[in-house]
Structure 1
Amino acid sequence: MPEKIFEPWNDPDAKPLIQFKGVTKRFGDFTAIDNQTFDIYEREFFALLGPSGCGKTTMMRMLAGFEKPTEGTILLAGQDMAPIPPNKRAVNMMFQSYALFPHLSVWENIAFGLKRDGRPKDEIAARVSEMLKLTRLEKFAKRKPHQISGGQRQRVALARSLAKAPKLLLLDEPLGALDAKLRQATQFELMDIQEKTGTTFVIVTHDQEEAMTVASRVAVMDDGKIVQADTPARIYESPNSVYVADFIGDVTIIEGTARRSGDGYEISHTEGLPALYAVSDAQLSDGQRVFLAIRPEKVEITADKPENKRNALRGKIIDIAYLGNISTYHVALPSGQIVKAQTANTRRLSRRSFTWEDEVWLSWTDTAAVLLEH
């Protein structure tokens, strides 16, 4: 039997673990969270993504119980969280700094919360060894935090957070202190641990790549609001606004006016340049201002004008970003608009076909670009 896809948000019978209902948070005159209603489901790996100051940390602090909503309610498993103090919630938080006790061993750090709850010794020992195994730290149980690497400290903090089997684990920029390669490895470890434990994870990050790698759904935030919450694939392929398209990955945005044509719209963008075409089921009025968002990997770059493609523009290469496996060409149109095109580097550099100042053609299919109203 094919494996059932995990998409509780599309199941009308699924009960959310967390419900934000009309939640607003103000600090004096400043509105940090602006009337937000959304759900997070059990076993989800949910990412709050956005630039500094967008409200994602305030959202997390309200879930942890460090802040109370000014208006609205937050429910955990159907229960209003506001009256429950942070230490009594079935929620744990892993901080960016890991906040490990330097004088305690790895084993004692993981056992700390269980001891404080007065659990029996044999139960503590069993749980700690389970957590050490889960985070692959058995060999380091007797070491102090300063005797292990940053990546291992990160895993100790995770093991300690999960030891009390919380319903919900909050992760605040958990990989911020790790170098790029270790971050990548740790992202997959996090996903693996989240799947094994079945705990609901909510991660706060400003790193779009991280959010897109680990999360079942990503909530892109701006100015105290969730602008779009969806699966990574849908956020990338079907952004609902220029803000989301621009925030996630690389993109070229062309502004123009739309006119209905066949199963989509013709977009006039620059005088003297041919109109572009995009298949879209959006309901637009003729002459409406629109934005065309095109991902660089969907743009083909050729020396000659492509046959049978409606979307074809001529330009000059002004920049090339070489990233080992791919090259991104920045091509200037006669209007000055820059369009990015990406190619996979299957050949050696010396055999690359295009270079700076080359005149080239850029083209893409009718379904490659996303038509956006704002």
Structure 2
Amino acid sequence: MSTAPFAPWDDASETPLIRFKNVTKRFGDFTAIDDLTQDIYEREFFALLGPSGCGKTTMMRMLAGFETVTTGAIELAGKDIANVPPNQRAVNMMFQSYALFPHLSVYENIAFGLRRDKLPKDRIDARVAEMLKLTRLEKFARRKPHQISGGQRQRVALARSLAKAPKLLLLDEPLGALDKKLRQDTQFELMDIQESTGTTFVIVTHDQEEAMTVASRVAVMDEGRIIQVATPGGIYETPNSVYVADFIGDVNIIKGTAKPSGKDRYYVDWGVNQAPILATSERPFSDGQECHLAIRPEKISISKEKPAQADNAVRGKVLDIAYLGNLSTYHVELPDGQIIKAQTANTRRLSRRTITWEDPVWVEWTATAGVLLEQ
């Protein structure tokens, strides 16, 4: 039995859990959020991604109730939350520092919010036990935060945040303090926990790999605006601008002018004495319109001989090779000085590599390999 993929944003009958409606936030003369409208759905793992100062943390703090909206409205489950104090929202926030109580055990840290809500002891015990099991911390219940590892502390903070079963959990750079390997393991744990609780997660991160791993949708932000919202695959394969293409992963950007050549097909005039590039685009471009072709390095192949039948083949020489274990990225300098990056999977041992520094090479790609962008 095939289950439809989770995509409530494509279903007009679905009601969003969170609605930002023309929200602007100013601090004095500085506009942190600029007329932002965005829906987030129940059970989503929604990532806010962007450079420092792009407004992602401000957006999150407004959801939590730590910042007020200057103009516009934010709705949670159909209600305007402007006048609802932070402690009365069905929202919890997990901070980068975890903010655990050092003198309390793991168990007491998780139970803290439930005790404040004056729940009966048996209900507190049952809920804490559930959270310990969910985060695989049963063995550490009696330990203090300083007696467990960073990754375990992170899970305690998560368990404490989820104990009160919030509708929405906000995570501010939650894995920033962990080393790379642990971070990757924890990303999958987060996804499992999010899925099993059904809580809506909104995560703020500047780590593109993290956003692409955990999120159902990614919002790429810049200067208080959302530039594009899409699934990780959509953001990577069909960015809507050079900014998004460049922000996510490695990319080659070739600037030129478009010349229509049949349905959805264009020639791009670009380098001096270079044959035009053949590209496809469902977005229309007019004759002579400036455009940018974004091509991922893994969609470009490299060879010593001129390819017999290629949509696009360009000659250059190898300037640099970045060896990443499973991949090698070749930086190929074209006659006009432009650099094109081509990536190959290292399926053979390093000593068997045939292309090395200074070698004359050809790089080639298909007409459908790149995305034609206006700006």
Alignment-mate amino acid for residue 218 of structure 2 = V
1:92, 1:307 → 2: CA distance? 59
2:363, 2:75 → 1: CA distance? 51
Alignment-mate amino acid for residue 65 of structure 2 = G
Paired residue for 1:300?
301
2:139, 2:281 → 1: CA distance? 56
Paired residue for 2:121?
121
Does residue 344 of structure 2 align to residue 343 of structure 1? yes
1:280-299 to structure 2, matched below 5 A, reads: 280-299=281-300
Paired residue for 2:66?
66
1:4, 1:237 → 2: CA distance? 21
Paired residue for 1:98?
98
Alignment-mate amino acid for residue 38 of structure 2 = F
Following superposition, the deviation at residue 270 of structure 1 comes to 1.1
Following superposition, the deviation at residue 288 of structure 1 comes to 0.6
2:318, 2:130 → 1: CA distance? 56
1:267, 1:204 → 2: CA distance? 38
Does residue 13 of structure 2 align to residue 13 of structure 1? yes
Following superposition, the deviation at residue 310 of structure 1 comes to 2.1
Q: Describe the SS at the equivalent of 2:100.
A: coil
Paired residue for 1:357?
358
Alignment-mate amino acid for residue 140 of structure 1 = F
Alignment-mate amino acid for residue 240 of structure 1 = N
Paired residue for 1:50?
50
Paired residue for 2:273?
272
2:231, 2:80 → 1: CA distance? 27
Following superposition, the deviation at residue 285 of structure 1 comes to 1.1
Deviations 1:212-253, CA, capped at 9 Å, x for gaps: 000000000001000000000000000000000000000000
2:308, 2:27 → 1: CA distance? 59
Following superposition, the deviation at residue 283 of structure 1 comes to 1.4
Moved more, 16-25 or 255-264: 255-264
Structure 1 runs (4+) greater than 6 angstroms displaced: none
Q: Describe the SS at the equivalent of 1:6.
A: coil
Paired residue for 1:184?
184
1:1-374 to structure 2, matched below 5 A, reads: 1-263=1-263, 264-374=265-375
Alignment-mate amino acid for residue 256 of structure 1 = G
Alignment-mate amino acid for residue 309 of structure 2 = N
Alignment-mate amino acid for residue 217 of structure 1 = R
Q: Describe the SS at the equivalent of 1:183.
A: helix
2:311, 2:353 → 1: CA distance? 27
What TM-score does the superposition give when structure 1 sets the normalisation length?
1.00
Following superposition, the deviation at residue 353 of structure 1 comes to 1.2
RMSD: 0.5
2:50, 2:231 → 1: CA distance? 15
Q: Describe the SS at the equivalent of 1:176.
A: coil
Deviations 1:114-136, CA, capped at 9 Å, x for gaps: 00111110000000000000000
State the identity as a percent.
75
Q: Describe the SS at the equivalent of 2:177.
A: coil
Following superposition, the deviation at residue 307 of structure 1 comes to 1.5
1:293, 1:262 → 2: CA distance? 21
Deviations 1:300-335, CA, capped at 9 Å, x for gaps: 101111122121100111011000000000001111
Following superposition, the deviation at residue 281 of structure 1 comes to 1.5
1:114, 1:350 → 2: CA distance? 61
Report how many aligned residue pairs link the two structures.
374
Unaligned regions of 5+ residues in structure 2, if any?
Answer: none
Alignment-mate amino acid for residue 124 of structure 1 = I
Alignment-mate amino acid for residue 123 of structure 1 = R
Q: Describe the SS at the equivalent of 1:162.
A: helix
2:127, 2:354 → 1: CA distance? 59
2:213, 2:339 → 1: CA distance? 28
2:352, 2:46 → 1: CA distance? 44
Q: Describe the SS at the equivalent of 2:4.
A: coil
Q: Describe the SS at the equivalent of 1:293.
A: strand
2:240, 2:22 → 1: CA distance? 22
Q: Describe the SS at the equivalent of 1:258.
A: strand
Moved more, 290-299 or 302-311: 302-311
Moved more, 347-356 or 197-206: 347-356
1:108, 1:222 → 2: CA distance? 40
What TM-score does the superposition give when structure 2 sets the normalisation length?
0.99
2:12, 2:311 → 1: CA distance? 41
Alignment-mate amino acid for residue 332 of structure 1 = E
